[in-house]
Amino acid sequence: MDQYVGLDVSQDETHICVVDRDGNKLWEGHCASTPEAIGKTVKEHAPNVKKIGLESGHLSTWHWHGLTDMGLPAIN
């Protein structure tokens, strides 16, 4: 099953929502706002992720590079 991830990033904590292709929520939670923590959480709760959407902001470049370096399909 294809999974899609949305990130709501703040300085200390990132809220994560995983949905299927029809928009049904599969998992919602949060983790620390580091690429490593986000990547680990996404791999755990969305192993079949097709796209990770993240908002534009002062942390987005750091997150995009970190997630794509881990082989995750981040877009912004």
3-state class percentages of the chain: helix first, strand second, coil last, to nearest 5: 30, 40, 30
Domains of the chain: 3-75 (3.30.420.40)
Q: What confidence score (pLDDT) does residue 53 get? A: 97
**CA atoms of 71 and 30, how far apart (whole Å):** 21
Which is it for strands 25-32 and 74-75: parallel, antiparallel or unpaired? unpaired
Is residue 57 pLDDT above 80, yes or no?
A: yes
Q: What confidence score (pLDDT) does residue 28 get? A: 98
Q: What confidence score (pLDDT) does residue 38 get? A: 98
Work out the mean pLDDT of the chain and round it to a whole number: 96
Is residue 56 pLDDT above 90, yes or no?
A: no
Q: What confidence score (pLDDT) does residue 27 get? A: 98
Rounded to an integer, the average pLDDT of 50-56 is 93
